[in-house]
């Protein structure tokens, strides 16, 4: 059953207006970051895996341009995980956790975006680090 988003509980006094103070907006953003790290296992996994190319970058003393590529890719995967979580949360809210083929489609596409970003990141890491490993061992 779809939830009518216009129907709000009259006793619900949660904030529905725009934040007018930077500090309040900043605190809400921090709450979102804390929530995704607390509730989303994949975000924690991506973060831990993202440490590997950082350590390799320090070990191999990669160039500034290579650092930009590595850090951009790490943040791309994390950003896609944020977007995926947003999609999943909104779909769950609208469908009230009931299965719907379009809900599945939206969630699958969002998860696919994370996968594409992760594959791209692996390719970039291979381009940067494989020659360094080859030079080190051969």
Give this prediction's pTM.
Answer: 0.83
The pLDDT of residue 97? 96
Q: Active-site positions?
A: 81
**5 lies in some domain:** no
SS (H, E, C) 82-110: HHHHHHHHHHHHHHCCCCCHHHHHHHHHH
The pLDDT of residue 4? 58
Domain hosting residue 68, numbered range = 41-137
The pLDDT of residue 17? 76
| pLDDT > 70: percent of the chain | 88
Calpha distance 121→115 (Å, rounded)? 10
**126 lies in some domain:** yes
The annotation places the binding site for a divalent metal cation at: 40, 88
**65 lies in some domain:** yes
CATH code, 53: 1.10.287.3610
**31 lies in some domain:** no
**29 lies in some domain:** no
3-class DSSP state for residue 2? coil
**54 lies in some domain:** yes
pLDDT tens digit sequence for 15-36: 667 778 999 999 999 999 999 9
Dihedral angle, C-alpha 23, 79, 77, 88, nearest 10 ° = 120
With beta carbons less than 8 A apart as the criterion, state whether 43 and 81 touch. yes
Looking at the structure of the chain, the number of domains it has is 1
**67 lies in some domain:** yes
Q: Tell whether the model's pLDDT for residue 7 goes beyond 80.
A: no
**18 lies in some domain:** no
Q: Tell whether the model's pLDDT for residue 11 goes beyond 70.
A: no
The annotation places the binding site for ATP at: 40, 88, 98-100, 107-108
Q: Tell whether the model's pLDDT for residue 9 goes beyond 70.
A: no
């Amino acid at each position: 059953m779809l939830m009518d988003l216009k129907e709000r509980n009259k006793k619900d006094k949660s904030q529905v207006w725009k934040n007018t103070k930077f500090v309040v907006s900043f605190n809400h953003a921090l709450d979102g970051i804390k929530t995704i790290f607390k509730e989303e296992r994949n975000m924690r996994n991506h973060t831990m895996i993202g440490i590997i190319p950082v350590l390799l970058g320090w070990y191999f003393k990669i160039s500034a341009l290579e650092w930009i590529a590595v850090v951009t890719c790490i943040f791309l995967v994390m950003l896609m995980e944020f977007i995926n979580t947003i999609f999943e949360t909104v779909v769950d809210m609208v469908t009230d956790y009931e299965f719907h083929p379009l809900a599945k489609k939206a969630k699958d596409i969002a998860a696919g975006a994370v996968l594409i970003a992760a594959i791209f990141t692996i390719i970039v890491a291979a381009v940067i680090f494989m020659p360094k490993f080859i030079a080190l061992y051969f």
